A and B are shown apart, each in its own frame.
Chain A
Amino acid sequence: MLIQEKMSVMEKLEILSDAAKYDVACTSSGVDRKGNGKSMGNAVASGICHSFSADGRCISLLKILFTNECIFDCKYCINRSSNDVKRASFTPDEVCELTMEFYRRNYIEGLFLSSGILQSPNFTMDLIYQTILKLRTEYHFNGYIHVKAIPGADSELIQRLGFIVDRMSVNLELPTAEGLKTLAPHKNRKNILKPMRQIQSQITQSKNELMIYKNAPSFVPAGQSTQMIIGATPENDYQIVSVAENLYDKFNLKRVFYSAFIHVNEDSALPALPGGPPLLREHRLYQADWLLRFYGFKANELLSADRPNFNIMLDPKCDWALRHLENFPVEINRADYYTLLRVPGIGTKSALRIVKARRQAVLDFDDVKRMGVVLKRALYFITCNGKMMYKTKIEEDYITRNLLNLKERIPIDVKEAGYKQISLFDDIRFNPHPEIVDHMQSIYGQI
């Protein structure tokens, strides 16, 4: 393992951003912080995308590893100790200067700092802490910072770090403890859940203190997130969605990210995946995640032990609605918000607009369309003034066939981008000519 003494910052940046790219969490959302008139920076709750890379993903933060050296040997990871890759490490000043200069030019919203494990978890966590401390106090950076908490590091270090960053995340890595055991022999589930729990309870504590003392320092104000790799281990969708639900309910996570497994190492423990990374599956999981967080769905409504995987052909909401035709059609002028949300073709925004607009007038199909509802999807499930849009059979096979004929707008935002991710259920474009883009075609040529 060779570290060149005189590596240029350019070389380091290339190596250490390349090594960080598999981390999917790039959002800068979750906290509103005004500038203080002195230091550089503020934060915007909705998050801001600054660019998009050639894979179409949002670039919001300077996403880098502090070092790609690592004493661990996780089988799925390009930086594992047994790999012969070029290694590099930043100095704290290099990280600070890059962040400041990129930020001034409005390239980025802030910094995302992760790291391979150098010497020990504590040693690494301390390096990260020193770097962030420097950035905040010597460079006076007031923008967004997301750091990885290193499992196994002292809780006291995590605590200190939590007060100077916006978001922290501990990667779950794989959906189940068994998966972790097979692919990440140096890690264990307990070590991952422990800092997660610590961060959760300190966030709660800090919020309580903030209610009493206005100026109390706030701990991880943008909340914590995590991510897991999909398709490297044999868990089914039901297991994965249930894990996510638990993380939201029991650990109060802000976000769970899913990352389609990408084959970077040859290892007999890893699946072959000849079709490339399971992107459509990842996409279905994001859709389901959205349903859990904003649409009031429960994991066991979407899937069950008998039906443990999502329908690849239909989005999870359509799929659910088709299996519950007895609940439909619903009346646009009367159904409550959550009932509207369950209608395919109606998203959170259009549902809200409907609820507001119908206080002023009785709505018909034209109105509903203007409010962003995708009628060709919704028409099987709604009435306006007691009437369906036109006569149609309410029958599972028939509707399924019709829905499948519609090109699904596999969103442009299947990944992380906080504020951008609204497109899942077709309501973003208020403009009544939604662009239908069929990504399924490009991702899965044969479908």
Chain B
Amino acid sequence: MNQKIFLCENSIEGIFTGVYNIWESRYPKDSIKLSCEQEGNYELFSEYINVNTDMIKADKVARTIEQRFGELNYTNIYQAACSYEKDKANAIFRTIQYGLTSKTPRRLMEHLKDDNICRVFELSRAVGNESHHLLGFVRFKELTNKILCAVIEPKNDVVALIAPHFSDRLPNENWMIYDKGRRLAVIHQGGGQWGIIKSNEFNIDFFETVSEKEKEFENLWRGFCDSISIKERENLKLQRQNLPLRFQKDMVEFQR
């Protein structure tokens, strides 16, 4: 049997549109794969079908998932779609497919015996963990115009997942969190909303023009981090295990 590979954009909308197009296509589902790997290894005996991201279709899929499977399962699927792992699209497609024929769709994530569901669950956990870490590890610098700016380099696409937390916490500040790798920024206006901007044109040189006070507080914070540590218990291995180096490089207390 000739395998059909639906190729979608690497985004949640892309993946959901892919799922929609597969439903619509009426091909036997067993022979279908969904992939968001744009320049992956082409498989010789497969037919490739391109998916054009369509917000309306994606939205229909999202709503179906939420209604049929409940909010918790939706969150898991959504988070899995933010993963950096390439096999996520197919695992998500299969998981949704499983749920639609399941007698207990609201317990979808409990079917851990199924490989795809297990994978979605695993991806979702990894994304959830990284987001949770970043809630703590994000470091804002105050610029001369009082705007708070942070740079992060997460493995997974988490800016949209962490934005609500900071918007709730710092409602009156103008702030921005920039995902350097993805050239993606979430921007929040004091007293207002937040939004996400993606652009290849971002120039973050202005991040260097920090306010007068900024240096002072950075130094105070570094001093604090040093003096709060107990010499007799020093354990750098443990520190690195809890706070991997990839996070450390964007945190002021480790920039000396």
Contacts of B125 in A (CB 8 A): 430
Q: Which of B11-19, B20-28, B46-54, B238-246 contacts A (4 or more CB under 8 A)?
A: B238-246
B111 near A21 (CB under 8 angstroms)? no
- A276 vs B233: C-alpha distance in the bound complex, in angstroms? 9
Residues from 77 to 128 in A contacting B, C-beta threshold 8 Å: 98, 101-102, 104-107, 109
Q: A62-B224, A106-B138, A437-B241 are in contact. Are A360 and B230 (CB under 8 A)?
A: no
Please encode chain A, from 342 to 386, with 1 for each CB lying within 8 Å of some chain B CB and 0 for all others.
Answer: 000000000001001101110100010011000000000000000
> Pick the contact of B111 from A42, A46, A357, A412 — CB < 8 Å?
A357
B225 within 8 A of A: yes
Please encode chain A, from 1 to 37, with 1 for each CB lying within 8 Å of some chain B CB and 0 for all others.
Answer: 0000000011001110110111000000000001101
B227 near A56 (CB under 8 angstroms)? no
- Give B18 Cβ to nearest chain A Cβ, in Å: 26
Smallest CB gap from A97: residue in B: B217
B112 near A367 (CB under 8 angstroms)? yes
B170 near A104 (CB under 8 angstroms)? yes
Contacts of A21 in B (CB 8 A): 227-230
Q: A57-B229, A106-B150 are in contact. Are A42 and B168 (CB under 8 A)?
A: yes
> Pick the contact of A18 from B133, B221, B227, B241 — CB < 8 Å?
B227
B238 near A56 (CB under 8 angstroms)? yes
Smallest CB gap from B229: residue in A: A53
Q: How many residues of B contact A (CB 8 A)?
A: 59
Residue from A48, A60, A63 whose CB has the most chain B CB atoms within 10 Å: A48
Contacts of A143 in B (CB 8 A): 169
> Pick the contact of B110 from A34, A52, A359, A419 — CB < 8 Å?
A359
Please encode chain B, from 116 to 142, with 1 for each CB lying within 8 Å of some chain A CB and 0 for all others.
Answer: 001001100110000011011111111
Contacts of B55 in A (CB 8 A): none
- Give A356 Cβ to nearest chain B Cβ, in Å: 4
- A50 vs B247: C-alpha distance in the bound complex, in angstroms? 11
A49 near B113 (CB under 8 angstroms)? no
A-B contact count (CB 8 A): 177
A356 near B107 (CB under 8 angstroms)? yes
Smallest CB gap from B138: residue in A: A106
Smallest CB gap from A14: residue in B: B227
A207 within 8 A of B: no
10 cross-chain pairs, A with B, having the tightest CB-CB distances, nearest first: A56-B238, A53-B229, A55-B233, A35-B168, A18-B227, A356-B110, A50-B136, A54-B229, A56-B235, A52-B243
B234 near A98 (CB under 8 angstroms)? no
A41 within 8 A of B: yes
A292 within 8 A of B: no
B172 within 8 A of A: yes
B228 near A53 (CB under 8 angstroms)? yes
A17 near B239 (CB under 8 angstroms)? no
Q: Show the binding face of A for B, using Cβ within 8 Å.
A: 9-10, 13-15, 17-18, 20-22, 34-35, 37-38, 40-42, 44, 46, 48-60, 62-63, 98, 101-102, 104-107, 109, 143, 260, 262-263, 276-277, 279, 353, 356-357, 359-361, 363, 367, 370-371, 412-413, 419-420, 430-431, 437, 439, 442
B232 near A276 (CB under 8 angstroms)? yes
> Pick the contact of A17 from B166, B173, B224, B233 — CB < 8 Å?
B224
Can you list 12 A-B contacts with CB-CB less than 8 angstroms, sorted by A residue number? A35-B168, A38-B172, A42-B165, A42-B168, A55-B229, A55-B234, A56-B238, A62-B224, A102-B220, A105-B142, A107-B253, A357-B113
- A419 vs B133: C-alpha distance in the bound complex, in angstroms? 11
Q: A9-B220, A37-B171, A50-B137 are in contact. Are A59 and B225 (CB under 8 A)?
A: yes
B219 within 8 A of A: yes
Interface SS of chain A: helix, strand, loop or mixed? loop
A35 near B171 (CB under 8 angstroms)? yes
A49 near B234 (CB under 8 angstroms)? no
Smallest CB gap from B217: residue in A: A101
B184 within 8 A of A: no
> Pick the contact of B113 from A10, A13, A101, A367 — CB < 8 Å?
A367
B243 near A105 (CB under 8 angstroms)? no
- A46 vs B135: C-alpha distance in the bound complex, in angstroms? 12
- A405 vs B64: C-alpha distance in the bound complex, in angstroms? 51
Contacts of B132 in A (CB 8 A): 46, 48, 419
> Pick the contact of B224 from A13, A37, A52, A263 — CB < 8 Å?
A13
Contacts of B165 in A (CB 8 A): 42, 44
Contacts of B181 in A (CB 8 A): none
Smallest CB gap from B170: residue in A: A40
A35 near B227 (CB under 8 angstroms)? no
Residue from B110, B169, B253 whose CB has the most chain A CB atoms within 10 Å: B169
- Give B192 Cβ to nearest chain A Cβ, in Å: 11
- A58 vs B107: C-alpha distance in the bound complex, in angstroms? 35
Q: A105-B148, A277-B233 are in contact. Are A59 and B242 (CB under 8 A)?
A: no
B237 within 8 A of A: yes
- Give B117 Cβ to nearest chain A Cβ, in Å: 10
Residue from A18, A38, A51, A59 whose CB has the most chain B CB atoms within 10 Å: A51
A360 near B235 (CB under 8 angstroms)? no
- A15 vs B226: C-alpha distance in the bound complex, in angstroms? 11
B104 within 8 A of A: yes
B256 within 8 A of A: no
B100 within 8 A of A: no
Please encode chain B, from 94 to 118, with 1 for each CB lying within 8 Å of some chain A CB and 0 for all others.
Answer: 0000000000100100111100001
Contacts of A17 in B (CB 8 A): 223-224, 227-228
- A35 vs B191: C-alpha distance in the bound complex, in angstroms? 12
Smallest CB gap from A410: residue in B: B238
- Give B231 Cβ to nearest chain A Cβ, in Å: 8
B169 near A41 (CB under 8 angstroms)? yes
- Give B166 Cβ to nearest chain A Cβ, in Å: 8
Contacts of B139 in A (CB 8 A): 105-107
Q: A105-B148, A106-B150 are in contact. Are A51 and B113 (CB under 8 A)?
A: no
- Give B133 Cβ to nearest chain A Cβ, in Å: 8
Smallest CB gap from B171: residue in A: A37
- Give B80 Cβ to nearest chain A Cβ, in Å: 13
Contacts of B118 in A (CB 8 A): 370
- Give A410 Cβ to nearest chain B Cβ, in Å: 10
- Give B147 Cβ to nearest chain A Cβ, in Å: 11
- A413 vs B239: C-alpha distance in the bound complex, in angstroms? 10
